[in-house]
Each structure stands twice: as structure tokens, then as C-alpha cells.
Amino acid sequence: MISKKMEGLVKGSSVIRAMFEDGKLLAQKYGAENVFDFSLGNPNVPAPKEVNDAIIDVVSNTDSVKLHGYMSNAGHDEVRDIIAQSLNGKYGTAYDRSNIVMTVGAAGGMNVALKSIINPGDEVIVFAPYFGEYDNYVANYDGKVVAITPDIDTFQPNLSEFEDKITNKTACVIINSPNNPTGVIYSEETLKGLSAALEKKQRELGRTIYLISDEPYRELVYDGAYVPWVPDYYRNTIVGYSYSKSLSLPGERIGYLVIPSDADDHEDLASAASVATRILGFVNAPSVMQLVVGKCIDASTDISYYERNRNTLYEGLTKLGFECRKPEGAFYLFMKTPIEDDNEFAGMARKHNILLVPGSAFMCRGFVRIAYCVSYETVKGSLPKFQELAAALGLRGVS
């Protein structure tokens, strides 16, 4: 007697649960240290010390009703001020608290944004490969996902196909850079092209098309890479952010939306976001964590940890003859599968105790995602196993 919408999702979820159970069984059978689980985006780096210090500080020094009570659905005013000012310092913007809505992580923010925008039957354009959960978020509001086929050479959005797919039903477009699962950062050129296409189509169709920029990996970049600030390129942008990765706080569910003042219907949109936060049952982002991120605005996780994993993995895999782009950000490496069927390849890897997510889960066959937000020991220990896998496939590595 569960709802029809949920029936299929529960079945799908059972498959994922089966995968988890499978991983646990492998760990029991072979020992956890002999299982190389790259399947989950759960940061293995501790939160920076500032976070726990800030928790103890706010808990010890804040009046209980202020600390744990309701505030405006959009969040604590002073925290939104701090975030606005921090963004202004980084990007030369002029935001204030009215541009910021605190959310229950990026997933909460995405749902709030989509609920605020989508009418049933509206189309939402995404670029493959993309985080499969977007399908569920869009379906929550009876929207329809329109996926653009991947450019597997660059993993930048395919802009010509994009322009063709924009219709008078297109309510919004979702991008995610640095990208899950590819680790690619969308370039300035990409954003200019994306913006030009959107501006042109907005004029032609006489409607607003919002761009939702999902940016939980914004601070996770390597080699000094630059992540352009998307609203600089396209006015009707809504930015979704989360502290899940940048402060290693995924379980705490804390993030925010930026709704710039020059976006169409900015005030209604900000009001809708506040109301959506309330009626979807979030009510507000968790209070203590709001105050904590306000105090940790300049803190960051230890990126060198992920960078070492990235370098070791990238060098190790390419030496073995595997093909992949070196990730520029996030903590994912998207590797071409030496055989066509990525599900079959993931199955083969599993026989060597390596757990990977097939690219099909991101609407991009022929690849696997390797989440390297794991211990360095796991990365190092996996390479001999990848070597066995390469040998089984007859790959000819460099050495």
C-alpha cells in the first residue's frame, strides 16, 4: 500500500541496499582492509578542528532559545549576512541576507529550488554524466528530465545539442561543477556558451529559464584550478551549496541557496524558497550547524589528502593502461572501461574486491566512477588489485 511513485524507487533502493550488504559480506569474508570500496561519496577526511571548536563555543555561549529555537525559515540573519559577505569578498558580488536561504544540505536546497520553479510537465535539462538523484528530485515535482548526451572527450556540456533541446517547457537547467562523477570543472568558455544559448532562447521563447548550479565541490579543486562564479555569466542563476564536502559534514545537512537580486522575480523566488523550506518539512536548516558554519566561514578541509589520493590513483591507473582524465576537482575519477559494458566491468572489478559505480548510473555508459574520498591505504592497497584486473583484461601498461 505504498504510493505508486515510491514502488519503483523502493525496488531500485533494494538493489543499492543489496550492493551495500554485498560490500559488508566481502569485508567479513576477506577482512575490511582487503576490500577497496570506492562506491560512496562519504568524505573520509575529518572535519577541520574549527568545526568542533565552534560547536562547543556556540553551545557554551548562546542562549538556549536562540541556539535551539525556531528562526526565520530562511535561516539565522547573522549567518546569512556572514555568508553573503564571504561570497562578496571572493566574487566581488553585492549580496546581502535577502539573497541567502539556508538549506538542509545541497539536496535540500535542490528540492527547495525545484519546488519553487517547476510546474508539472516542465522540462529540466541536465548534462550527462550527472548525479542520478537529480531524476528523483525533478520527479518529486512532476518535472521531466531532459538529458544531453555526454562529450566523452572533454566532459564539458555539449552546447549545440543543449540549444536544440531548449523548448517552451524548459523551466530550468542543472549544472554541477566541479562535477560528480567526472571531476571536471566547467570552463569559462563553457559558461559563456551556456549563457549565450540560454539568453537567446529566453528571448525567442519569451520565458525565464533558471540555471541551478549545484556546487557542493566548489572548494575541492587541485593545482590551483579556478571555478568560475556562475551568476557572473548568467543572470538567472540559483547557486546551491553544501558544507558536506568542504567541511566534511555530510551527515549534518547544512548548506544554502544563493538567489541573486538580478534574477527574474527575485523576491518571489526568495519567498517561494522560504515557503518551500517550510512546507517540505525542513522548516529550517539545523540551528546549531547554521551558527557553526557562520563561525567557520574561512575554514576548509585538508584538500591535500584528496590530492594525494588523486595523484596516486591517476598515476597508478594510467600506468596500468587504464584511460581516464585527471580530475580537476571533487573527489571522483571517471575511468573508461576497457570493455564496453560498464556493469560487466564493475562486476569484474568486484571479483578483485574493488567496488566501483558503473557510469550507467550517471547516464554515461562505458565508464566507472571511482570515489577516492577514502583512506590512502585503500588507494595504495587497491593498485595491485587493479593490476590483477588489468592483467585479466590484457591491458598493456607503461611499465
Nearer CB in complex with its own copies: 259/370: 259
Smallest gap from residue 161 Cβ to its own copies (A): 24
Select from 2-10, 144-152, 182-190, 316-324 the region that touches its own copies (CB under 8 A).
Answer: 2-10
For 146, the 3-state DSSP assignment is strand
Nearest one of 101, 91, 162, 104 to 130, comparing CA atoms: 162
Nearer CB in complex with its own copies: 133/315: 133
CA distance 243 to 79: 14
Smallest gap from residue 120 Cβ to its own copies (A): 9
Nearer CB in complex with its own copies: 208/312: 208
24 binds its own copies (CB under 8 A): no
* Member of 18, 32, 94, 283 binding its own copies (CB under 8 A): 283
Nearest one of 139, 141, 126 to 179, comparing CA atoms: 126
Residues 299-338 that bind its own copies (CB under 8 A): none
* Member of 60, 92, 224, 399 binding its own copies (CB under 8 A): 60
Q: Which residue type occupies 383? A: L
* Member of 147, 272, 355, 379 binding its own copies (CB under 8 A): 272
Binding-residue total with its own copies (CB under 8 A): 79
Q: How far apart are the first and last CA of the chain?
A: 58
Residues 94-123 that bind its own copies (CB under 8 A): 104-105, 107-112, 115-119
Task: State the chain's maximal CA–CA distance in angstroms.
Answer: 65
Helices 287-295 and 77-91: angle between axes, nearest 10 degrees: 40
Smallest gap from residue 132 Cβ to its own copies (A): 11
65 binds its own copies (CB under 8 A): yes
Nearer CB in complex with its own copies: 177/202: 202
How far is residue 112 CA from its own chain's centroid? 16
Smallest gap from residue 354 Cβ to its own copies (A): 21
Nearer CB in complex with its own copies: 226/376: 376
Nearer CB in complex with its own copies: 239/383: 239
Nearest one of 45, 44, 48, 56 to 299, comparing CA atoms: 48
* Member of 264, 302, 315, 377 binding its own copies (CB under 8 A): 264
Residues 134-153 that bind its own copies (CB under 8 A): 136-137, 140-141
| Half-sphere CA count of 106, side-chain side, radius 13 A | 24
CA distance 330 to 319: 22
In this structure, what C-alpha cell is assigned to residue 358?
558503473
Residues 212-251 that bind its own copies (CB under 8 A): 248-251
Residues 194-213 that bind its own copies (CB under 8 A): 207-208, 210
CA distance 86 to 75: 16
For 129, the 3-state DSSP assignment is coil
User: Which residue reads 512532476 in cell numbers?
Assistant: 142
Residues 27-56 that bind its own copies (CB under 8 A): 40, 42-44, 46-47, 51-52, 55-56
* Member of 237, 287, 337, 353 binding its own copies (CB under 8 A): 287
Smallest gap from residue 101 Cβ to its own copies (A): 13
284 binds its own copies (CB under 8 A): yes
Smallest gap from residue 146 Cβ to its own copies (A): 18
* Member of 152, 196, 227, 288 binding its own copies (CB under 8 A): 288
User: What length is written for the chain?
Assistant: 399
Residues 6+ apart with CB under 8 A from 134: 110, 124, 126, 145, 174
> How many CB atoms neighbour CB 168 within 10 A?
11
CA distance 210 to 173: 6
Select from 87-95, 132-140, 353-361, 380-388 the region that touches its own copies (CB under 8 A).
Answer: 132-140
CA distance 246 to 176: 15
Nearer CB in complex with its own copies: 112/320: 112
CA distance 258 to 270: 9
Smallest gap from residue 27 Cβ to its own copies (A): 16
Residue 175 backbone phi and psi in degrees, to 5: -125, 160
| Half-sphere CA count of 292, side-chain side, radius 13 A | 26
* Member of 2, 92, 203, 394 binding its own copies (CB under 8 A): 2
Smallest gap from residue 189 Cβ to its own copies (A): 28
